[in-house]
Amino acid sequence: MSTRSHIVRGFKATLVARAVFMVSSALLMIVLARYLLDPDSYGALYWAIGVLAVVQLFADVGLGKSAARYFAEYREKDPGQIPHLIRSTVAYKLIVVTLVAYFLLLFHDRIAVALGDPDAAPFLAAGVIYIIVRSFHVFSQIAFQGFNHLVYSATVQAVGGVARLVFAVAFVLLGFGALGALFGYIVGSAVAAALGLTILYYRFYREYNPAPEFEPGLSRRLLEYSVPLTATRSANVLDKQIDIVLVGVFLNPVAVGFYTIAKQVTDFVLAPAESLGFTISPNFGEQKASNQLEEARSIYETALTNALLFYIPAAAGLAIVAEPFIRLVIGTDYLGAVTVLQILCGFVVLQAITNLTSDSLDYLGRARSRAIAKGGTSVANFGLNLVLIPTIGIVGAAIATVFTHSIYVAVNLYIVHSELSLHLESLARSIGTIVVITGLMAGAVLLATPMISDLVMLAGVIGLGAGTWAVLAVASGLVDIHEVRSVIAST
């Protein structure tokens, strides 16, 4: 199977599973926010999850990503090392996770008080179990990415999402409130972790014949490479969660609820780009090892152009329909999220680029460079949040996110260009055309807005925008209709 065919197959599997996961997440968001929890309880739940995500950093470090990098390398170079790598990684993770869980068990009440919310102590106590099961849930997904068996990774994610939905709703209906919803998250991750580790053991650990001995120095390199990945992962989590934590510290749970809803909506929109980035990134490590950088460049440029072909107009459309979407789908209690969502539409485009780029840099061996860039922008994001949240509220958190992420994306693209020598003029022409078409599409929708109802606009903007976009994209040459027909015929 060719590299591109393998990518397409992996992307389809990942996208289907991500669709299952995101649909289950969307249902969970709507059911909890609209029907089962008030904004205060909803905010309290996701503030606690934000705090636990920060604690999770110390439990996960960068071992999973480091192991995935070496799985990708050694399954081609020396498969006999794979069982040794799996065993060492799991042993290291057990040690780290146990230490962090014990620390949280001892100090969860003091952490809650220090953060200004003693009522969060039960959530943090439950978090002892959460960080353990979540750590191995995520590890199994990343491990399968390293082996380039994305169907398994996709299956684990989909199963976890569905289990989380079922158990979170069930526990809330049984009267356990927001804490019950957190236990739903715990059970969902536990089911996914059990499935993932079982597949990893039977499909990979037992299938590879172990070499007589562990390659000298490989265990040390596994740990060493995890250091920059730990820094990058820490910066990623801080970017995604520290704003939620700070909104809770400086404002209140209701504000956390508004801000969380806006971020969750952008997560749903970003699912396809995350799937594509997750799919293509292991191939860069393989192609660099075999000195096929031309193929790597072609894959990256094609993926980037196609992602922006979708995400620039999607972000514009989401900004236009943000108010009716929140009011009609989530509920009028959450209209405070509208402005934040509109600002974060800029983040949607930036994160789409990041999803395609970040993991790829790790597999290209540029984890250290990316860690430095991510660390710097994360510190800047933290500082801006400290200044802007107390002064202009949750809008300030959104502005800080978009501003600092713009810098990070620019640095990432520079690093990719230094590795792959991208065709910058061709990319600039394509992106410019996409922006012009999006402007025409958005203008048409805005002109029609006063004449149509919110419900009709919400339902019709997707169809009208997609149709307008398709016509203009074909007319401008961005999309080759004959190629589209060939793809359809072959599926």
Q: Evaluate if residue 488 carries a pLDDT over 60.
A: no
Taking CA atoms, 147 is separated from 15, 140, 265, 363, 487, in Å, by 18, 11, 31, 12, 27
Q: Which of 433, 165, 197 is closest to 308 using CA atoms?
A: 433
- Write the pLDDT tens digit of every residue in 95-122: 999 999 999 999 999 999 999 889 999 9
Give the per-residue pLDDT at 290.
60
Neighbours of 98 (CB within 10 A): 12
- Write the pLDDT tens digit of every residue in 301-337: 888 888 888 889 888 888 888 888 888 888 889 999 9
- Write the pLDDT tens digit of every residue in 397-416: 999 999 999 999 999 888 88
The mean pLDDT of 187-213, rounded to a whole number, is 92
Per the CB < 8 A criterion, the answer to whether 147 and 208 are in contact is: no
Q: Rounded to 10 degrees, what is the CA torsion of 481, 482, 486, 487?
A: -30
Q: Rounded to 10 degrees, what is the CA torsion of 328, 329, 331, 335?
A: -80
**d(C-alpha 141, C-alpha 451), whole Å:** 47
Among residues of the chain, what percentage have pLDDT more than 90?
39
The mean pLDDT of 183-196, rounded to a whole number, is 96
**d(C-alpha 436, C-alpha 316), whole Å:** 12
**CA quadruple 1, 72, 354, 341: dihedral positive or negative?**
positive
